[in-house]
Amino acid sequence: MKEQEINRYWKKIVNTMSEGFMLVGPDGIILVVNEAFERLTGYTSKEVIGKPCTILDCDACERTLTKSGQVWCRLFAEGQVLKCHCHLRIKDGTYLPALKNASVLKDDKGVALGAVEILTDLSELERLDKKVDLLSRQVEEKIGFHGFIGNSPPMQKLFEVVQKAANSEAPVIIYGESGTGKELVAQAIHQLGRRKKEPFVQFNCAALNEALLESELFGHIKGAFTGAYRHRQGRFEVANRGDIFLDEIGDVPLSIQIKLLRVLETKQFEHVGDHHSISVDVRIITATNKNLEELIAQKKFRDDLYFRINVFPIHLPPLRERTEDIPLLVNTFVHRLRLRTGKKINGLSSAAMACFMNYRWPGNVRELKSALEYAFVIVEKGLIDLDQLPSNIVEPKPLVPDSVQPRLQTTGFPTSDESLILDSNPDGLDEKTALIKALQECKGNQTKAARVLGINRVTVWNRMKKYGIDLKKVLRTY
pLDDT digits (tens, 9 = 90+) for 176-188: 999 999 999 999 9
pLDDT for 400 equals: 43
pTM of structure: 0.61
64 compared with 154, residue with greater pLDDT: 154
- DSSP for 148-189? B---SHHHHHHHHHHHHHHT--S-EEEE--TTS-HHHHHHHH
pLDDT for 164 equals: 94
357 has a pLDDT exceeding 80: yes
411 has a pLDDT exceeding 50: no
Distance between CA 224 and CA 272 in Å, rounded? Answer: 6
389 has a pLDDT exceeding 90: yes
Mean pLDDT of the region 232-245: 92
* Whole-number average pLDDT of the chain: 83
Using an 8 Å Cβ cutoff, are 1 and 10 in contact?
no
pLDDT for 478 equals: 60
- 223 in helix, strand or coil? coil
DSSP 275: -
Nearest of 341, 350, 344, 349 to residue 374 by alpha carbon: 341
Confidence class of residue 4 from pLDDT cuts 50, 70 and 90?
Answer: low
What domains appear along the chain, each with residue ranges and CATH number?
A: 10-121 (3.30.450.20), 125-315 (3.40.50.300), 321-394 (1.10.8.60), 402-476 (1.10.10)
Distance between CA 128 and CA 233 in Å, rounded? Answer: 16
Within a 13 Å sphere around the CA of 392, how many CA atoms are in the beta-carbon half? 10
Mean pLDDT of the region 222-229: 76
pLDDT for 384 equals: 94
84 has a pLDDT exceeding 80: yes
- Give Cβ neighbours of residue 51 (< 8 Å, ≥ 6 apart): 29, 30
How many other β-carbons are positioned within 10 Å of the β-carbon of residue 427? 10
27-31, 99-103, 123-127: which has the minimum mean pLDDT? 123-127
Distance between CA 459 and CA 353 in Å, rounded? Answer: 13
Distance between CA 322 and CA 295 in Å, rounded? Answer: 29
226 compared with 306, residue with greater pLDDT: 306
Nearest of 203, 292, 185, 293 to residue 239 by alpha carbon: 203
Distance between CA 264 and CA 343 in Å, rounded? Answer: 50
403 has a pLDDT exceeding 90: no
410 has a pLDDT exceeding 60: no
Using an 8 Å Cβ cutoff, are 117 and 110 in contact?
no
pLDDT for 466 equals: 75
pLDDT for 425 equals: 43
Whole-number percent of the chain with pLDDT over 70: 85
